[in-house]
Copies of this chain bind each other. A is one copy, B any other.
């Protein structure tokens, strides 16, 4: 049977339904939402982990400094997203609560993987229980903990993978090609940032591109604290 026929027969009208070929179509559609989202890149460098994302400013009258596409979960953990951003916010707030709860209970920072697993579980739940829809968002979760620098990606299914460098959103195909060519394990933060910013520049239409549009942040292995990268530093890389 053809996919179109499966659509005609309604296998894609509920998350609680498999199609005859064993697929969860609603979850696959949620992944398409992600591919329509703004491009976001993560990269593990020699001395820190980077998130770089396109802010996609919709209007001149928006306050660009106020658009955060990179959220702080805890001192040492940050998140960016592609897809439905209000969905992302719900997950980020949940992660923040988890991290705070952990600090209060154990008097030490939560490890990155625990946060990732908790987000992934919520996402999985929304692919199995009726009366809900899957989260239409992929997250990049970056951090530094006892066991080093970490970079994870979770998709709408609730799957997660650990990456050295990763891209989500509309520029996915193009940027991934660039990362595979230019990413090397020993890159410094500065070198890595350059790779990311230039990859974004190539994937976004030239005329619309400028440093204002970019949100970037880093967590160094030493400080283990999220630091936003000032737009001047990005502008310099673009010259």
Contacts and interface: CB of A to CB of B under 8 A. Distances in A.
Interface of A: 1, 7-26, 29-36, 58-63, 66-67, 84-87, 89-90, 93, 117, 120-121, 123-136, 157-159, 161-166, 176, 179-180, 183
Given A63-B162, A121-B93, A32 B21 contact: yes
A9 B9 contact: no
17 contacts: A1-B7, A7-B9, A13-B17, A15-B16, A16-B132, A18-B26, A18-B136, A19-B29, A20-B29, A20-B32, A21-B29, A61-B176, A62-B163, A63-B161, A86-B123, A128-B132, A129-B131
A165 B61 contact: yes
A212 B136 CA distance: 32
A219 B112 CA distance: 29
Given A17-B14, A30-B18, A165-B61, A130 B130 contact: yes
Contacts of A164: 61-63
Given A61-B163, A61-B183, A158 B89 contact: yes
Contacts of A87: 124, 128
Contacts of A7: 1, 9, 20
A101 B188 CA distance: 45
Contacts of A15: 16, 133
A134 B130 CA distance: 12
A29 B18 contact: yes
Contacts of A14: 16-17
Nearest to A123: B86
Among A11, A16, A26, A89, the one with the most B-chain Cβ atoms within 10 Å of its Cβ is A16
Contacts of A176: 59, 61
Given A161-B62, A164-B63, A22 B136 contact: yes
Nearest to A18: B29
B84 A163 contact: no
B32 A22 contact: yes
A214 to B, nearest CB: 17
Contact of A16 (B86, B123, B131): B131
Contact of A67 (B30, B93, B135, B162): B162
